[in-house]
A and B are shown apart, each in its own frame.
Chain A
Amino acid sequence: MSWKLIPRPIVERTSLDLSSIRPDFFRGLDRAGVARTRLRLGNEPIDLGECFDIEGEGEVDRVEIAGSVKMSMYMGMGMNSGTLRVSGDCGRFTGAEMTGGTIEIAGSVGFGAGLAMRGGLMRIEGDAGSGLGGAFAGSSIGMRDGTILVAGSAGDDVGLAMRRGLIAIGGSAGAGTGRSMIAGSIFVAGTVAKGTGAGMRRGTIVLMNENTIIEDAIPPTFAAAGRFRPHFLTIYLRRLGALGFAVEPRLFAGECERYNGDLIERGIGEILVCKP
């Protein structure tokens, strides 16, 4: 059993700060306590009970939003345990700074999902906006740990200044994927736009699409370094498969073309293009 929050019309019309909707915050609360949880509408506090109908009772570690909250922001921000499921779309900064637990989104998410994330798992069944797993404006470090899985496509700047962790995109990714990446791993099954890996210091970007036109995707400051089979790849692909991410069987064999860069930085990052 879980807490079920059914959005009222106000949620569709206004931009709410939903950072208080976290399974760990609801622990030990009864229904009245959950209803009194403070959200924010602009600069004003507003009770959760005014924005959502509440179902469920008791000590549970799971919260379900039965609908879309795409106008709102900060859903699950800083969450550290439990499961938060949204049956529709989510707005900006979903799961930002989360440290643990699982966020499952049946729809799509807006800008900045998993921004500066430090742990846990975010599973997005639709698309993700720009800045996925990236850094807050003014911060030099993006996602620090955890896993983000996107079944659909993602916008620009996936993993901007990412420090650690794993991001996997089932569809395509926009421009600047892995830009200024410090470390970590990004997997993209579809196409990538220009500027992939620009300014990356370390870390790995795996382009699973064998038809990637590398000259269009990566800056000229990367050096081709031949083909080989990195053994860690199978470990990661198995992990992604175990998490429910669709992995093509062909990826478990074959080699990768490696490009070292970005040479304007330390140059020990890598872009791997999976080949048959």
Chain B
Amino acid sequence: MQMKIHSVNIIDTFAEAFPTTAARVLVTAVSVEWARVAATAATGYATSVIGCDAEAAIERELAVDETPDGRPGVSVLFFAFGREALEKAVVNRVGQCVMTCPTTACYNGLPVGEKSIQVGGKLRFFGDGMQISKKLGERRFWRVPVMDGEFTCEDLFGTVKGVAGGNLLIVGSCALATLNAATAAVAAIRAIPGVIAPFPGGIVRSGSKVGSKYKALRGSTNTAYCPTLRGVAPTELADGASCVYEIVFDGLDLVQVERATAASIRAACLPDILAITAGNYGGKLGPFHIRLHDVLIRYPNEED
């Protein structure tokens, strides 16, 4: 079946996504700017679990009535393969990038159940015995003395089974137009709660395929979508294509990732965009197959 939006060809294919473990971390500070500074540092080098300990990005800003301590903040999502890996990544990143940042505090943003990770309970040892525990109902907060007062960090953070690897490939006839379309797609994704696009600006230019001619590498450049390799490697690109950007996004559940897929496709259907497709591995690796045509039908507009 052929589908077009504003003359952009939507390829009848699917994005192949994977189960992952996710946590939501609420970072507060004296101002939203300082909260963002801490969150930006904590989500650095967290683009892909292929080469990083976690995938992470800022989800959104939080108003003072949305945070536990009544200060402005940001919500950050972390994704990793397994709770153990997630705990290690969050503890390290909060410890090195949030605790060190002036005025910050750190709270759990998901329901805590059996499958939670311990963050404050690990970082408390930095207090060298002078840390204070405050338990309010079922929630425990650790107060670690630091040089501008104290760093407050919740003991346990809830986790959920999230979905990683939602993706789109935006194929354009002009590099700048393709970048604009990709930027619009990322903006649409960021408007959906529970979804992040962890790559720089949410956009990937070095999309990868599985495997390499070099044994040491698990992945290598996606030759089929490199415009400059036409003629020397098999290509998936139509005539006139000169640029491809990939959008990769993770979500707290499949529905949000599907919504993000639909919203981002619509947002990216701009002039000079030839086609929008998605990356997959033939359906053999990931259990979640997000069919582009299907989600566009099921989510007729991004508000749904």
Q: Which residues of A are in contact with B by a Cβ distance under 8 Å?
A: 164, 166, 183, 185, 202, 204, 228-232, 234-236, 238-239, 252, 268, 270
Contact = CB atoms under 8 A, between A and B. Distances in A.
B184 to A, nearest CB: 38
Q: A-B pairs with the 7 shortest C-beta distances?
A: A228-B149, A231-B69, A234-B70, A231-B152, A234-B69, A231-B105, A235-B68
16 contacts: A166-B136, A185-B134, A202-B132, A204-B134, A228-B149, A230-B152, A231-B28, A231-B152, A232-B69, A232-B141, A234-B69, A234-B70, A235-B68, A239-B136, A268-B129, A268-B130
A5 B190 CA distance: 58
A252 B130 contact: no
B135 interface: yes
Of B68, B70, B134, B150, the most chain A CB neighbours within 10 A belong to B134
Nearest to B148: A228
A219 B98 CA distance: 37
B24 interface: no
B143 interface: yes
Interface in B114-135: 129-130, 132-135
B71 interface: yes
A238 B143 contact: no
Contact of B133 (A166, A183, A230, A231): A183
B68 A230 contact: no
A268 B132 contact: yes
A230 B135 contact: no
Interface in B237-274: none
Contacts of B150: 228, 230-231
Interface in B128-162: 129-130, 132-137, 141, 143, 148-150, 152
A228 B151 CA distance: 12
Q: Is the interface of A mostly helix, strand, loop or mixed?
A: mixed
A268 B127 CA distance: 12
Contacts of A252: 70
Nearest to A228: B149
Given A235-B141, A252-B70, 13 more contacts: A166-B136, A228-B148, A228-B149, A230-B143, A230-B150, A230-B152, A232-B143, A232-B152, A235-B69, A235-B136, A239-B136, A239-B137, A268-B129
Interface residues of B, number: 20
B132 A231 contact: no
Contacts of B105: 231
Nearest to A253: B70
B70 A238 contact: yes
Contacts of B137: 239
A235 B150 CA distance: 15
Contacts of A164: 135
A228 to B, nearest CB: 4
B157 to A, nearest CB: 16
Contacts of A234: 68-71
Of A185, A234, A236, A238, the most chain B CB neighbours within 10 A belong to A234
Interface in B52-93: 68-71
A269 to B, nearest CB: 9
Contacts of B69: 231-232, 234-235
Nearest to A235: B68
A268 B144 CA distance: 12
Nearest to A252: B70
A206 B270 CA distance: 59
A185 B105 CA distance: 20
Contacts of B71: 231, 234
A270 B150 CA distance: 13
A118 B129 CA distance: 26
Contacts of A270: 132
B143 to A, nearest CB: 6
A229 B141 contact: no
A252 B132 CA distance: 21
Nearest to A266: B129
Nearest to B30: A229
A129 B28 CA distance: 40
